Amino acid sequence: MYKSLIIAALILSACSTKDEQFCECLKAGDELNKVTAKFMSEIPTDKDAKKIQELKKEKNEACKNYIEMSGEEMRKRKTDCEE
């Protein structure tokens, strides 16, 4: 009886736990988007270009486990990060 309750509690807690690595991936992507958005109207300096390359590297590293994830799963995890 107690084993069933413990297993059920573990399953429920696992379902509600957000994926911190995915949240970091989202943050890295948002930061890259913010920096690159300003270059729609101006030319980046060498310093800006270096910053963009650093942010791309960070984003690629943070998101490497999610490259082949379905859009539906990404939306679900994104919702979990916003809570």
pLDDT along the chain (83 residues), means of 10: 43 62 95 90 90 96 94 92 84
Distance CA 81, CA 45 (A): 33
Residue 3 lies inside a defined structural domain of this protein: no
- Cβ(64)–Cβ(6) below 8 Å: no
Domain range for 30 is: 18-82
Q: What is the pLDDT of residue 41?
A: 84
pLDDT for the residue 64: 95
Q: Is 7 contained in some domain?
A: no
Whether 50 is in a domain gets the answer yes
**Total count of domains within the chain:** 1
Task: Confirm whether 13 is domain-assigned.
Answer: no
* pLDDT value for 16: 52
Handedness of CA 37, 38, 44, 49 (dihedral sign): negative
Residue 22, in any domain of the structure:
yes
Residue 8 within any structural domain of the chain: no
The predicted structure's pLDDT at residue 77 = 92
